[in-house]
Chain A
Amino acid sequence: MKEISIDSKIVMGYVYSSLFWGVIGLLLGLLISVQMWAPAFNFGEFFTFGRLRTVHTNVLAYGLGIGAEMGVFYYIITKLTKRSLMFPKLAIANLIIFNIGILAGTITLFMGYTQSLEYAEFEWPIDIGIVIVWVLFAVNVIGTIAGRKEKHMYVSLWYMLVTVVAVAILYIVNNLPIIVSLTKSYHIFSGLNSANVQWWYGHNAVGFLFTTPILAMFYYFLPKSTNMPIYSHRLSIISFWSLVFMYLWTGAHHLVYSPVPDWLQTLSIVFTILLIAPSWGSVINGYMTVQPDWSKMNSQYLTKFFILGITFYGLQTLQGPSQGIRAISSLVHFTDWVPGHVHMGTMGWVVLVTTASMYYIVTKIYNTTIYSEKLANIHFWLVLVGQVVFSITMWITGIRQGAMWKSYNDDGTLMYTFMETLVGNYPYWQMRTVAGAVFIVGMLFFLFTLIMTVVKGKREQSSK
Chain B
Amino acid sequence: MSKDNSIYSKIIPLVIAMTVVVLVGTVITMAMPLLRDDMHPKLESTKEYTAIELEGRNIYQREGCVNCHSQMVRPLTADVVRYGDYTKAGEEFYERPFLWGSKRTGPDLGRNGGKYSDEWQIIHLKNPQKFFPQSNMPSYAFLDRPANAVDAEKSMKSLKYTYTQEDIDQVANSTELEALTAYLQSLGSDIPDNMYVKVEYSDYENTMAPMSIVSPETKVAFVDNCAGCHGTEGEGSDIAAPFSDVIPADIIDGNLFVSIANGIPYTMPSHIGIMTKRRIWELALYAKELANKKRTAIISTTNTDMSSVDSSDKK
Q: Please give the residue numbers on chain A whose beta carbons come within 8 Å of chain B beta carbons, in ascending order.
A: 35-39, 42, 44-45, 48-51, 53-54, 112-118, 142, 145-146, 151-153, 158, 161-162, 165-166, 169, 173, 178-181, 184, 186-198, 200, 241, 244-252, 254-255, 257-261, 264, 267-268, 271, 330, 333-336, 338-339, 405-406, 408-414, 416-420, 422-423, 426
Contacts and interface: CB of A to CB of B under 8 A. Distances in A.
Given A36-B105, A414-B273, A184 B11 contact: no
Contacts of B11: 142, 145-146, 153, 161
B135 interface: yes
A116 B30 contact: no
A54 B29 contact: no
B97 A50 contact: no
A45 B141 CA distance: 9
Interface residues of B, number: 87
B209 to A, nearest CB: 16
Nearest to A114: B61
B64 A114 contact: yes
Nearest to B128: A39
Interface centre among B33, B103, B129, B134 (most CB of A within 10 A): B33
27 contacts: A35-B138, A36-B105, A37-B136, A45-B142, A50-B138, A113-B62, A145-B11, A146-B11, A151-B4, A165-B19, A165-B22, A178-B159, A184-B155, A186-B159, A191-B40, A193-B40, A195-B100, A200-B29, A248-B26, A249-B25, A249-B28, A260-B89, A261-B33, A268-B29, A413-B274, A413-B275, A417-B225
Given A194-B97, A419-B224, A251 B277 contact: no
Given A257-B74, A259-B88, A194 B142 contact: no
A189 B96 CA distance: 7
A408 B78 CA distance: 8
Contacts of B232: none
Interface string B19-36: 101111110111001100
Contacts of B4: 151-152
A441 B277 CA distance: 51
A153 B8 contact: yes
B26 A179 contact: no
A190 B93 contact: yes
B158 A165 contact: no
B252 interface: no
Nearest to B76: A330
Interface in B224-240: 224-225
Given A151-B9, A191-B40, A178 B22 contact: no
A227 B76 CA distance: 54
A157 to B, nearest CB: 8
A121 to B, nearest CB: 9
A422 B87 CA distance: 23
A405 B30 contact: no
A38 B138 CA distance: 9
Contact of A245 (B25, B102, B275): B25
Contact of A196 (B8, B23, B39): B39
B272 interface: yes
A334 B21 contact: no
Contacts of B197: 412-413
Contact of B154 (A37, A180, A260, A261): A180
Contacts of A187: 96-98
Given A189-B34, A259-B89, A244 B39 contact: no
A230 B8 CA distance: 17
B213 interface: no
Contacts of A179: 158
Contacts of B70: 334
A142 B155 CA distance: 41
Contact of A49 (B15, B135, B138, B278): B138
A406 B64 CA distance: 27
B138 A39 contact: yes
Interface of B: 3-4, 8-9, 11, 14-15, 18-19, 21-26, 28-30, 33-34, 38-40, 58, 61-68, 70, 72, 74-76, 78, 81-82, 87-89, 91-108, 128-129, 132, 134-140, 142, 151, 154-155, 158-159, 197, 224-225, 272-278
4 A-B pairs with least C-beta separation: A50-B64, A248-B25, A191-B92, A42-B138
Contacts of A165: 15, 18-19, 22
A127 to B, nearest CB: 14
A334 B103 contact: yes
B96 A194 contact: yes
B130 to A, nearest CB: 12
Contact of A152 (B8, B103, B135, B139): B8
Given A49-B64, A189-B96, A193-B34, A245 B21 contact: yes
Nearest to A255: B100
Contact of A161 (B14, B87, B105): B14
A177 to B, nearest CB: 10
Contact of B39 (A49, A192, A411): A192
A190 B138 contact: no
Contact of B9 (A153, A161, A405, A426): A153
B68 to A, nearest CB: 7
